[in-house]
Structure 1
């Protein structure tokens, strides 16, 4: 699921070492595979009655040692986590965990490929929000891409139809909407904060609340269910690491198109593990949404290059 993801973590737009595009692409493809597997474990755990907040808790908890290791190994060490933008970090954390919760919930309600396709609307919503709230100039080409993207959404969810459950489609769209709002906050944080700082404070601010929710809604599980939760945490951490590493090797404009490989992994896993084929509308709507997202990404790249 895009923008991890959904809640994908922020990236510096210019980092030392961004001269290995093949390595960056390979890392990004690995990240999408890891996140697809994580979402499969979320779905499997949900089928065992695990509450979404419990899955979120173990996802964040397992990632924390990895984050601390990356900070420890960084050039600045623990001094790197200093920040004077805690108001924005808190806002990012609230929106981020809400978005992640909606995305996790959507995964339990829809086939993996369907939920993944709807999550690809994040760049479309982000462009709309950037124009409305950040007063960014959005020209006719990008507005056209946004409108075409929404046509793709209508093709996928087919309002009034019964190919995709209405509740699942609504939750998935809400997740994409909130994730898009997170990207605006991340963009503001990215002016002064590195990705690892944002990831660290996201974990710090969300873990206590998630721990309380996990205590309230969690319970005793059998070995299989605990294995699923462990899978959520491990593959979530791997996805987070490989996303961060991909941005060290190549710029966003090079590796972002690889995010759409998530649909391939989600389709394969959905068929093999859950015996769920994507809805017929996905085959028609997904190319429209993906094409719109790729065009928006390309226009962003052109815009950044002109500024540079």
Structure 2
């Protein structure tokens, strides 16, 4: 999805139109999933205001992330976006009162150090505005993860995904008359790809955050770096610099350490097996 967004933005598509396409073409994916799996009754909600605030937060962070992809190389934008799970872990302790031990705080500190390295303070060729927008988008994404966790206590995955898509589509559509342009079939294909892939990942991400703690789920986002490097090399002939690789390595290390630590804690709460007795 990120690669398609960058390709489309390189051809002049505005962030508002990208956001609209993301929601428009993801709606058939969501509708098909609703029809085949939970059913349309699952979109009923008793908390419409919660979905409205979640949609506003998600729409804002999505727009910022799309702008960052247009301004930065794919691998760099992805690396800075990795600070989202770090922010989510911090917010999970502050907002949800989830227990975050010293090991996880250490992982957060290492990850934030990696983000600082990747942003190349003091001397980089990357635009400062793009870096700031990417970081703001990551903070917004982390806040969205926390909001999903809160809504998931009373609302199902179907309702959360459906209402976000519908509300975001309606709001972004208001700006379409001012930002839309004419496109050839290749550009339309990119816009469809953005929406379809976005709909699929939204369903999976929302479901995973209802089934496991935030700090356990979000480190798997780090696999995006491998794909970002590959797409950046194939499509734009760009290779990440030493700062991006070093910063990304620190962030990935912090995420893997978090996953390992959670597994150790989980094992310590399981009944002993015969070989452990």
Pairwise TM-score range, normalised by the shorter structure: 0.7 to 0.9
Which of 152, 165, 172 is matched with 1:190 structurally?
A: 152
Distance verdict in 2 for CA 1:225–1:207, change over 3 Å: same
Q: TM-score when scaled to structure 2?
A: 0.86
Distance verdict in 2 for CA 1:186–1:239, change over 3 Å: closer
Contact 2:19/2:172 (<8 A) preserved:
yes
Number of matched pairs: 270
Contact 2:96/2:150 (<8 A) preserved:
no
Measured on the aligned residues, the alpha-carbon RMSD in Å equals 2.9
Matched, 1:97 2:59: yes
Contact 1:163/1:279 (<8 A) preserved:
no
Shift of 1:115: 0.9
Matches within 5 A, 1:1-308: 38-75=1-38, 77-240=39-202, 258-299=220-261
In structure 1, distance between residues paired with 2:20 and 2:263: 35
Distance verdict in 2 for CA 1:138–1:251, change over 3 Å: closer
Shift of 1:254: 8.5
Note the residue ranges of structure 1 that are not aligned, 5 or more in a row.
1-37
Contact 2:84/2:141 (<8 A) preserved:
yes
Query: Comparing 295-304 with 205-214, which one deviates more in the overlay?
Result: 295-304
Of the two structures, which has the highest relative contact order with CA contacts closer than 8 Å and spacing of 6 or more?
A: 1
Note the residue ranges of structure 2 that are not aligned, 5 or more in a row.
271-277
Shift of 1:182: 0.8
In structure 2, distance between residues paired with 1:247 and 1:183: 7
Contact 1:253/1:301 (<8 A) preserved:
no
Structure with higher Rg: it is 2
SS in structure 2 at match of 1:125: helix
Shift of 1:141: 1.5
